Amino acid sequence: MSTVAITAADINKLRQMTGAGMMDCRKALTETNGDFEAAIDWLRKKGAKVAALRGDREAKEGVVLAKTTADNKTGIAVCVSCETDFVSKNADFVAFAQTIADAAIANNVKSIDELNNVTINGAKVADLVNDKLASIGEKIGITKLERVDADYVASYIHGANRIGVLVGLNKPAAEVGKDIAMQIAAMSPVAVDADSVPASTIERERAIVIEQIRNDPKMAGKPDEMISKIAEGKLKAFFKESTLVNQTFVKDNGKSVGEYLKSVDAGLKVTEFKRVALG
């Protein structure tokens, strides 16, 4: 039992430090005789509970990192989220995210669950995340992880760690990889080419454009065959705007991304890409 008087101010201070509930903070301070560091450790052991208590907040800020292995055969992009840009811009938090991204690469992980179970200096990543949650008083977590394996993988981080891109190529081409990654960061294509657009995306776009056409007063009474033909034309425009190789190359508006690739090497192709962004 504590021999130190626990005040409302003490409870509020610990609550602000950890994000834990008022009763938990009172209990932690009572159990640790008012020692704040010990109280934080006490709450760490209830990390899952603390995280659950903060589940009502949204973690829309954070740090996105994209890294590759030394041989550029694998790339991993991770998002370590937090609630405010004040925390996301903090050097310690950025370094914390870097440590997690490095661990992802070093341990060849394929999922967030795998990454959470990786050990860093004797502690699991999941426990380190809970420790950080308790110390900064914001909801944080590893919310996104993407991976690309290819003959050559390029990585790119855009906008102060707000967007991370991985690009898989069928042969080494560092500068091209960077150019293409910048294109993806800026233009957010949905797929490499028209053939790789998911069928569900195509059907959704088709339904949208058909509805738009039918709602056009000029199309009133027009046969379905005509509407379908117009819709297919609009879908072609969608593929041009939304698939990587058909997009206009941002560094040279006179050519498409596909034409840029061919101008460098006729056999050079993008095999896959991943784009991870905050939010």
Would you write out the chain's pLDDT as a tens digit for each of its 279 residues? 457 889 988 888 888 777 788 888 899 899 999 998 888 878 766 653 555 454 445 558 999 999 999 999 999 999 999 999 999 999 999 999 999 999 999 999 999 999 999 999 999 999 999 888 888 888 899 999 999 999 999 999 998 899 999 999 999 999 999 999 999 999 999 999 999 988 888 888 888 888 788 888 888 888 888 988 998 888 888 888 899 999 999 999 999 999 999 999 999 999 999 999 997
- Residue 145's DSSP bridge partners are 78
Which pTM does this prediction carry? 0.74
Residue pointed to by tokens 């609630």: 83
> Domains, the chain, ranges and CATH?
8-53 (1.10.8.10), 61-187 (3.30.479.20)
Which strands form 61-68's sheet, in the order they lie side by side? Answer: 61-68, 74-82, 141-149
Q: What's the Cα-to-Cα distance from 206 to each of 121, 217, 224, rounded to whole Å?
A: 52, 19, 13
The percent helix, strand, coil of the chain (3-state, each to 5) is 50, 20, 30
